[in-house]
Structure 1
Amino acid sequence: MIDKDDNLQVPVVVPAAGIGKRMASDIPKQYLTLAGKTILEHTVERLLAHPNVSKVIVALNSEDTFFNKLPLNDNPDVITVTGGSERCDSVLAGLKQVKDSPVAMVHDAARPCLTHEDISQLINHYQQTGRGAILASRVRDTMKRTNADNQISHSESRDNLWHALTPQLFATGLLIEALEKALAAKQTITDEASAMEYCNHPADVVVGRADNIKVTQPEDLDLAQFILKQQQRTVE
């Protein structure tokens, strides 16, 4: 356990260098419009509105031509860095901008429905335990394992099985070190927790809301818009 600081300021890295091939769109998915704003704007603005978020570091594609047209470009609490070919490269570039911060969060650019409640839960967990953690939701559906021909070989038990979400929060220096080691060993890094796992660092799960969806497929846009409207009504 560490000393709790209600004013703990945590930077957030948002990897946004991807091109979103699965969205079948001419522009990267983070720049698609949702309820009058781009997905990236919703995501970053929601993060910055939380009292414990100090700044947001957005990792952009080197050929990005969209970000500088957004109002976010003029926000002093938003820093941009050049991302890499893989998510982990972008995260690493962002983390190095805040390496002096004790802890940092990483959040997907395409998760605009994140609630402040979930952010607070993640930060509180760290302050209570001293351990890093990720937001996650329990697997509810029956899980099937298939062979290369998409034929079912068996059903997987749902016990202790989770959907990994973001944000993910870890000690900054430890996460940088874990990412660098995993990359050097050519490990497949799908999220920050997988780098921590590779280096045998503890990573806990904090139960998050299932509506913290990631916009990946075209049909996700309508669902995200519905969720945002419902969340706004709750706030009002």
Structure 2
Amino acid sequence: MSNNIPHYWAIVPAAGQGSRMGHTRPKQYLPLHGKPILQHTLERLNLPRIKGIVVCIAANDSDWQTLTLPRTVMSVVGGVERCHSVLNGLQALQPQAQPNDWVLVHDAARPCVRPADIDKLMTQLADHPVGGLLAVPVRDTMKRVSALPPQPLPHPFWGERGVEVIETVNRENLWHALTPQMFRLEALTLALQHVLNQQETVTDEAQAMERQGYRPVLIEGHADNIKVTLPQDLNLAELYLQQQDFS
């Protein structure tokens, strides 16, 4: 294949500990439907069009070697925040990838992403100058609440039963951002470097690109592409995986 034709690569930031799961083991290694969460995720990314996968793991990760990987996968040491890990992954790709190659960044804890949605993202944005991400429209009524104070109880808008609503947000034109998020290797590298040089952080790659003036495109995916964050998410992810097995 000519170097002028972009390849597709994937980066999976997996250096976090997932403290909200309340477990001593990092959440990406918790068992789900017979396999560790991260193994499910890597198998979903094991598509013919994706040339290679880089997983960004913690320096003291003792679980990585226990995975049964679907094919050769490169691992690199991640960073303090997601954006640091992704930048490390991008830098690891540079010796073998082209600046114009596509990079799909996918959360380690999204094991239910549908391969068809990944393929849809790659196909619909193949010729786009910027790239974009999977997303789903917001369907619920959205509420904005008062900021949570350091000492909750004395705060006039905060009590033992919850936090008060200060306004209802118009959900029109609001979407839930998912992953993968797909951008060009060089452009995403420069965007993340700029953010970190400003001593700032971003919560996803699209935000870094937006800071550079780009407008990522949203490609509608499926709502079962959930991120396992809390203990109850494991049961929901298990249900989704079972449903997908019989679809």
TM-score of the two chains, using structure 2 as the length reference:
0.88
Instruction: State the AA in 2 paired with 1:11.
Output: W
Equivalents in 2 of 1:129, 1:81: separation in Å?
29
- Cα offset, 1:93, TM superposition: 0.5
Match of 1:144 in 2: 143
Report if the CA contact (8 A) 2:133-2:216 is conserved. Answer: yes
Q: 1:161 aligns with which of 153, 171, 174?
A: 174
Whole-angstrom distance in 1 between the partners of 2:143 and 2:68: 44
Instruction: Look up the match of 1:85.
Output: 80
Q: Please state whether the residue corresponding to 1:14 is helix, strand or coil.
A: strand
Q: Tell me the CA shift for residue 76 of structure 1.
A: 5.1
The one-letter code sitting in structure 1 at the alignment partner of 2:74 is: I
Q: Which runs of 5+ in 1 are unaligned?
A: none
Q: Please tell me whether residue 66 in structure 1 is matched to residue 40 in structure 2.
A: no
In 1, Cα distance between equivalents of 2:71 and 2:242: 28
Query: Hey, what's the Cα distance between the residues in 2 that align with 1:197 and 1:229?
Result: 36
Give the counterpart of 2:89 among 86, 91, 94.
94
Equivalent position of 1:28 in the other structure: 26
Percent identical pairs in the alignment equals 45
In the alignment, the residues of structure 2 paired with residue 167 and residue 216 of structure 1 have an alpha-carbon distance, to the nearest angstrom, of 17
**Are 1:132 and 2:127 counterparts?**
no
Poorly superposed stretches of 4+, deviation over 3 Å: none
Letter in 1 for 2:139: R
Structure 2: runs of 5+ lacking an equivalent: 148-157
Q: Distance in 1 between matches of 2:7 and 2:210?
A: 25
- Post-superposition Cα deviations, 1:179-224, rounded to whole Å, max 9, x if no partner, equal 0001111223000001001111221111111000000000000110
Aligned to 2:12: 14
After alignment, is 140-149 or 192-201 more displaced? 140-149
Distance 1:208 1:76 in 2: 26
3-state DSSP class of the match of 2:231? coil
Q: 1:47 is matched with which residue: 45, 49, 55?
A: 45
Q: 1:125 touches 1:131 (CA, 8 Å); kept in 2?
A: no
Tell me the SS of whatever aligns to 1:166.
strand
Quote the Cα distance in structure 2 between the aligned partners of 1:123 and 1:76: 20
Contact 2:83/2:201 (8 A) holds in 1: no
Alpha-carbon distance between aligned partners in 2 of 1:172 and 1:208, rounded to the nearest angstrom: 23
For 2:72 and 2:118, locate their aligned partners in 1 and report how far apart those are by CA, in whole Å.
Answer: 18
Letter aligned with residue 96 of structure 1: Q
Deviation at 1:167, TM superposition (A): 0.0
Q: Is the 8 A contact 1:54 1:77 kept in 2?
A: no
The 8 Å contact of residues 130 and 214 in structure 2, kept in 1 or not, is answered as: no
The answer (yes or no) to whether the contact 1:30–1:38 under 8 Å persists in 2 is yes
| Largest Rg, 1 or 2 | 2
Q: For residues 103-114 of structure 1, what are the structure 2 equivalents within 5 Å?
A: 103-114=102-113
Letter in 1 for 2:134: L
1:145-171 residue CA offsets vs partner (Å, 9 max, x unmatched): 111332111000001101100000001
Q: Is the partner of 2:126 in helix, strand or coil? A: helix
Question: Aligned partners of 2:71 and 2:44: how far apart in 1?
Answer: 16
- Partner AA of 1:226 in structure 2: L
Match of 1:177 in 2: 190
Hey, what does 1:195 align to over in structure 2? 208
- 1:76 and 1:153 map into 2 onto residues whose CA distance is 50
Distance 1:130 1:201 in 2: 10
